[in-house]
Amino acid sequence: MKHNYLLTLNLRGNDTGFINRKSAMDLILKNYFTKSTILKNMFMKKVIGILFISLFFVACQQKIKPTDIANINGYWEIKKVTFDKGKDKEYGMNENFDFFQINNNKGIRKKVMPQFDGTFLVNDAFEKVVIRFTDDKAFLDYSTQYMKWSEEIITLTKEELVLQNKDKTEYHYKKAEAINLLGDGKTTK
C-alpha cells in the first residue's frame, strides 16, 4: 500500500509542526533524485541484460569454415522462413527441393521436383553460385543472366542449412532425401 505524504509549507515562519521552504525543497529534491536514480539503475540493468543475451547469441553463431562448404552439396528442403519482424512461415511437404553442387567454391543451385519413384524432375534453369568469405562470414553469391544477389550462410551442417538475405529474412533448410513411395525395390538415383 502506497502512502501519500502531504507537505505543508509555513510561509509565516518556523512554527511548530510546520516545515520551512528550504527543508521542503531539500526533501522534494532528495526524493526525486532517489527515485530517479533507482529507475535509472533498473533501466541500466535491463539494458546490460539485453546486451549480454545479444552477445551470447552472436558468440554462439557458427563460424563457417572452408571445410564446411562440402556439406552444402546435395538436396535441401525448406522447413521455415523467418522474417525480419520475427514472424515465421512453416512449410510442410514441399514440391521443390534446392539442389547444390559446389566444387572449389564454385557451382550451381537448381530447383528439382522429387518424384514418387525416388528420382528428381529437373529442367535446364539454374543459378551460378560462388562461395565468398569476408570478415569471418561466408556468403553464397548467385548470378543468372538477369540478376545477381547474395545470401549469408548462418548455419551449415550435414543436416541443417540456414541462409539470410539482405532483408534479414532467414531460410531454414533440412537435408532432403529421395522419396520412394512405389516400393518397387529399385534404388533411388
User: How many structural domains does the chain have?
Assistant: 2
Listed residue (127, 169, 175) closest to 152, CA to CA: 169
Q: Write down which residue in 9, 39, 60 finishes a domain.
A: 60
- Confidence band for 3, pLDDT divided at 50, 70 and 90: very low
Q: Tell me whether residue 88 is in a domain.
A: yes
Instruction: Please give the grid coordinates belonging to residue 118.
Output: 525416388
Domain range for 33 is: 1-60
Instruction: Please give the grid coordinates belonging to residue 101.
Output: 553442387
- Which has more confidence, 31 or 5? 31
Tell me how far apart the alpha carbons of residues 86 and 90 are, in angstroms, rounded to a whole number. Answer: 13
What is the reported pTM? 0.64
Q: Which 3 state secondary structure label does DSSP give 112?
A: strand
* pLDDT 10s digits, 88-123: 999 888 889 999 999 999 999 999 998 888 888 999
> Are 23 and 80 in the same domain?
no
Report whether pLDDT(77) > 80.
yes
> Are 114 and 170 in the same domain?
yes
> Are 45 and 77 in the same domain?
no
> Are 56 and 94 in the same domain?
no
Q: Tell me whether residue 154 is in a domain.
A: yes
> Are 107 and 148 in the same domain?
yes
Q: Write down which residue in 18, 42, 60 finishes a domain.
A: 60
> Are 92 and 132 in the same domain?
yes
> Are 21 and 82 in the same domain?
no
> Are 56 and 87 in the same domain?
no
Q: Tell me whether residue 184 is in a domain.
A: no
> Are 55 and 70 in the same domain?
no
* pLDDT 10s digits, 130-149: 999 999 999 999 999 999 99
